[in-house]
Amino acid sequence: MKTILLSLIASTALATSGFAEMLDLEKDELTFGFIKLTDMAPLAVAYEKGFFDDEGLFVTLEAQANWKVLLDGVIDGTLDGAHMLAGQPLAATIGYGTESHIITPFSMDLNGNGITLSNDVWETIKPNLPIDADGKISHPISAAALKPVLDDYAAKGKPFNMGMVFPVSTHNYELRYWLAAGGINPGYYSPENVTGQIGAEVFLSVTPPPQMPATLEAGTIDGYCVGEPWNQQAVFKGIGVPVVTDYELWKNNPEKVFGITNEFSEMYPNTTKAVVKALIRAAMWLDENDNANRMEAVEILSRPDYVGADADVIAASMTGTFEYEKGDKRDVPDFNVFFRYNATYPFYSDAVWYLTQMRRWGQIAEAKSDSWYDDIAKSVYKPAIYLEAAKLLVDEGLADEADFPWDSNGYKTPTPPEDVIDGIGFDGAAPNAYLDSLPIGLKGAQIVSGSDIKG
């Protein structure tokens, strides 16, 4: 009777909602790291909804103090993998900072960041900002609006300071992109000077994400670029005003990735695929039915073990809206994207964009060929692993075959100019032509020498 009952349960599961077939795992006890940000959601959801369990994985999730501690944990094996800044696997692999071959078989999300200014700066620029047909401040707001403030600071001998989360973070590059698009030089790096402040009109420095609002409130910085919920936290606390989202900077731009060492992927190939399967399912759950599950995700993320911010603060952006100035809440349904638009597929062109920004600001000190960008992208981003995991989900009836880019060569269709704040499109297959098209930044064979650009 017991055997018959078990058979009925198994056959019913297979006939209804699909059934995850467990791979022959080389390692089933895993510890993953994350930073307290909304976009760690795929990890929390995979854990809380049982998707890791379905793959036979016993996972522990551990919040990390900052991005460097997190990266070091993955490199030294304390962590088996982690929610990472997209620039971290690339920088580690090319030896910028700590050298280690880190790969990503899974991109965690699109969009999700914002740039916030202090109340004092906002009140100074607000009267000169254009108004839209509804009588609201017109968005996106150009960094050019800051120029009178910068002139005033310079006249008083004061530095204008802004925070970002890590030198190879999306936030560093997005903040620099916004400033440069407004005609403001955010400064350069050189092998001898890694502050990133050579020739800078705005001085950028590192602040861990959860500390951004407090640092702004203390007056240490005049603004910052960070992921959610820390822009909305500034609004709720009444200490700052978000002026632009990264969706407005570059529509559906790539954000975090899931990073592991190349050694881990080679030693534990089935475990790697099982992890990716669980993360794909989590991403699907987060976006399915027009974000119908987002309030449940907000409740999960608000727990102290995950993001630990008030649910109302997380929901302000996670559920398809974004509040700029207090009371100015607007619909932004794609502020956080976890699965739509092939968000989880690790495109080579996404890697190339990050590498171009490293080169643009001097973190890559010398010119590189287009083929170099392609080679590095392919050594770090691993769509083949992703598609193997996706195929297993499709075969198991847990995913729709039409939702995956099976025939992609790894490069997205070039981003059109109208999707970028400065009107400059991006083609990942032509990185040097792209660099040459940007008005501020290193081009061709230029290098940073002392405080000068040469070449």
Burial class (CB in 10 A: 0-12, 13-18, 19+), 214: middle
pLDDT for the residue 18: 61
Half-sphere exposure of 171 (CA within 13 A, CB side): 30
Same structural domain, 134 and 265: no
Domain boundary among 251, 280, 300: 251
Domain boundary among 403, 427, 448: 403
How many Å from the N-terminal Cα to the C-terminal Cα in the chain?
A: 82
Same structural domain, 277 and 395: yes
Within a domain: 454: no
Q: Return the structure tokens found at 192.
A: 């001898």
Within a domain: 434: no
Neighbouring CB atoms inside 10 A of 300's CB total 20
Residues of the chain with pLDDT under 50: 1-17
Same structural domain, 356 and 288: yes
Task: With CA atoms as reference, report the closest residue to 36 among 247, 297, 229, 207.
Answer: 229
Within a domain: 418: no
Which SS3 state, helix, strand or coil, does residue 250 take?
A: strand
Q: Rounded distance, CA 105 to CA 347, Å? A: 10
Same structural domain, 260 and 380: yes
Residue 18 CB contacts under 8 Å (≥ 6 apart), including other chains: 396, 397, 398
Q: Domain tally for the chain? A: 2
Residue 384 CB contacts under 8 Å (≥ 6 apart), including other chains: none
Within a domain: 442: no
Task: Identify the DSSP state of 402.
Answer: G
Residue 57 CB contacts under 8 Å (≥ 6 apart), including other chains: 25, 28, 30, 271, 274, 275, 278
Same structural domain, 92 and 157: no
Within a domain: 124: yes
| Identity of residue 66 | N
Same structural domain, 155 and 100: no
Within a domain: 416: no
CA distances for 359 relative to 3, 298, 372, 447, angstroms: 63, 37, 12, 10
Which residues, listed in sequence order, are joined to residue 240 by a DSSP beta bridge?
118
Q: What is the residue-wise DSSP string for 294-360? A: HHHHHHHHTSTTTT-S-HHHHHHHHTSEEE-STT-EEE-TTSEESSGGGTTS--HHHHHHHHHHHHH
Within a domain: 222: yes
Same structural domain, 67 and 142: no
Q: Which domain holds residue 236?
A: 113-251
Task: With CA atoms as reference, report the closest residue to 344 among 263, 262, 285.
Answer: 285
Task: Identify the DSSP state of 417.
Answer: G
Q: Rounded distance, CA 382 to CA 267, Å? A: 16
pLDDT for the residue 3: 39
Within a domain: 422: no
Cis peptide before 140 (omega within 30 of 0): yes
Residue 151 CB contacts under 8 Å (≥ 6 apart), including other chains: none
Q: Rounded distance, CA 211 to CA 245, Å? A: 19
* CATH code of residue 355: 3.40.190.10
Same structural domain, 161 and 284: no
Same structural domain, 76 and 98: yes
Phi, then psi, of 319 in degrees rounded to 5: -100, 15
Same structural domain, 164 and 218: yes
Which SS3 state, helix, strand or coil, does residue 427 take?
A: coil
pLDDT for the residue 2: 37
Same structural domain, 117 and 105: no
- H-run or E-run covering 393: helix 383-395
Same structural domain, 91 and 129: no
Q: What is the residue-wise DSSP string for 112-160? A: -EEEEEEHHHHHHHGGGS-B-TTSSBPSSPPGGGGHHHHHHHHHTT---
Residue 51 CB contacts under 8 Å (≥ 6 apart), including other chains: 45, 277, 278, 279, 281, 282, 285
Domain boundary among 251, 284, 300: 251
With tokens 């920004």, the residue in question is 357
